[in-house]
Amino acid sequence: MKMLINAPDRVVDDALRGMAAAHPELSVDVENRVVVRRDAPVSGKVSLVSGGGSGHEPLHAGFVGRGMLDAACPGEVFTSPVPDQAFRAATATDSGAGVLFVVKNYTGDVLNFDMAMELAEDEGVRAARVLVEDDVAVTDSLFTAGRRGTGGTLFVERLAGAAAEEGAPLETVEALARRVAGACRSYGVALSPCSTPAKGGPTFDLPADELELGIGIHGEPGRERRPMMTAAEIAEVTVDALLEDFGAPAAGRPFLAVVNGMGATPLLELYGFHAEVHRVLAERGVTLARTLVGNYVTSLDMAGCSVTLCEADDALLRLWDTPVSTAALRWGC
C-alpha cells in the first residue's frame, strides 16, 4: 500500500507537528502527545478531556477548541493513550472547576483514563468520567466489554463542551454528557478494509463484491457480510437497526445526525447516502433537526460509512447551535 508518510513509527508525531503548524490556536506537545486549546485553562470553566488511538481523525484532536474539548491525547494508531497523557491534559487545562474525561468504551481507553483520573484526583483535581458506548451492532467485541464507543462521542464532546463553555458546573456538565451518551446510537458499514502504517496493508480480508454490516472503527468484525448493496439498501438496514434499538422514540422528537465517512469515501457518495438516510427516516416518521455529513470518526483509509443518531430536545438543539471553533467543527464565531 502506498501511504503519504515518512516512516510507520513517526506517523503520529509527524501528524501532530503538522497540526501545530496549521493551527496556532492550539498548543501541541509533540513529545508528550497532548493537544490543548491555547487559552487553557479558562478561568471558572470545567475542562473536557478526551483521546484515543490515532487513525480516527479528526476525532479527537480536531475537536479541541472553544465549545468542545479543552484537550485531547492521541495514542499510537488504534492504541489507547497512556495514563500520563490524559493526566497531563487534565492538569494543563484544569482551572479549579474540575475535569470531565470523555471515554470511548474500549478496554484500553477505559483502564488508562481511569488511572489518569486517579492521578488527577491525587493532585487535588476534581474529576469525573463519562463512557460512550453507542454502537448498536455488536456487544462484547474484540476490544470491549459491552458496546463499542463510536460516533456518539462527537455529540457528547460537542454538547457537554457547549455547556462547559457557558460556565455550567462539573456536576451539570457530567449529567448532560451522560444524558447525551445515553441518547446516541451508531451503526457502521465497511466497503473495504483499512490499512495501518505498521502493517502496510489491509487489516482484514473483504472480497470486492461484499460488504460488512455493523463494522467497528478498528476493523472489528460486524454483524454479517452480504453481497454488495445499493446506498438505498444500506440506508434501510442502517436506519432500521438504529430505530430498533431506540425502541419507540417520542413522536415529533427531533434528532441530531452524523452521516460519517470512514476515511476513504468521497463526499459525493456520502451526500448521496445521506439522501437515502433522510428518506428512510422520513418514512419512519423521524425528523432530523441538524445533520453533519463528512469524515468525523474515521478508520484510516477504510471505505464505508456510519450513521449516528442522537435523540434531542430544544435545550440540546440550543447548545448545539452555540459557537464552536475547532479544527474540524466551526460555526457561530
pLDDT tens for 223-269 read 899 999 999 999 999 999 999 999 865 567 899 999 999 999 999 99
**Has 60 been annotated as catalytic?**
no
* Residue 141 pLDDT greater than 80, yes or no: no
What percentage of the chain reaches a pLDDT higher than 90? 90
**Residue 175 reports pLDDT greater than 80:** yes
8 DSSP 8-state letter: G
**Which grid coordinates are listed for 315?**
435545550
3-state secondary structure of 65: strand
Note if 56 is an active site residue.
Answer: yes
Instruction: Identify which of 89, 84, 99 has the alpha carbon closest to the alpha carbon of residue 61.
Output: 89
Average pLDDT estimate for 154-162? 98
Using CA atoms, how far residue 150 sits from 41, 245, 284, 317, in Å, is 28, 16, 24, 21
Q: What percentage of the chain exceeds 70 in pLDDT?
A: 98
For residue 321, report the phi and psi dihedrals to the nearest 5 degrees.
-85, -5
DSSP bridge pairs for 187: 307
Q: What integer pLDDT is reported at residue 49 of this predicted model? A: 98
Instruction: Check if the beta carbon of residue 70 is closer than 8 Å to that of residue 36.
Output: yes
Mean pLDDT of 159-173: 98
Distances (CA, A) of 258 to 75, 128, 270: 24, 26, 11
At 280, list the grid cell. 428512510
Half-sphere CA count of 306, side-chain side, radius 13 A: 32
Average pLDDT (273-281) is: 97
Residue type, 310: C
Least confident of 104-113, 210-219, 303-312, 320-329: 210-219
Residue 219: what pLDDT? 78
Q: Provide the 8-state DSSP code for 330.
A: E
Per-residue model confidence (pLDDT) at position 138: 79
Name residue, grid cell 445515553: 182
> Hey, how many other C-beta atoms are within 10 angstroms of the C-beta on 13?
15
DSSP, collapsed to helix, strand or coil, labels residue 14 as helix
171 pLDDT more than 80: yes
Catalytic residue among 56, 60, 274, 278: 56
Cell representation of residue 97 = 472547576
Q: What is the largest CA-CA distance in the chain?
A: 56
pLDDT per position as a tens digit, 34-56: 999 999 999 999 999 999 999 99
The one catalytic residue in 23, 60, 218, 274 is 218
Q: Which three cell numbers stand for residue 90?
A: 487534565
> Binning pLDDT at 50, 70 and 90, where does residue 145 land?
confident
Residue with more model confidence, 288 or 203 = 288
At 323, the amino acid letter reads P
Between CA 6 and CA 14 the distance in angstroms is 8
What is the rounded CA–CA span in Å between residue 205 and residue 203?
A: 7
Element containing residue 134 per DSSP (H, E): none
pTM over 0.85: yes
Residue 139 scores a pLDDT above 90: no
130: how many CB neighbours lie within 10 A of its CB? 23
Pick the range with the lowest mean pLDDT from 38-42, 184-188, 220-224, 286-290: 220-224
Average pLDDT, the chain: 95
At residue 32, φ and ψ (nearest 5 deg) are: -95, -5
Model confidence at 79, pLDDT cuts 50, 70, 90, reads very high
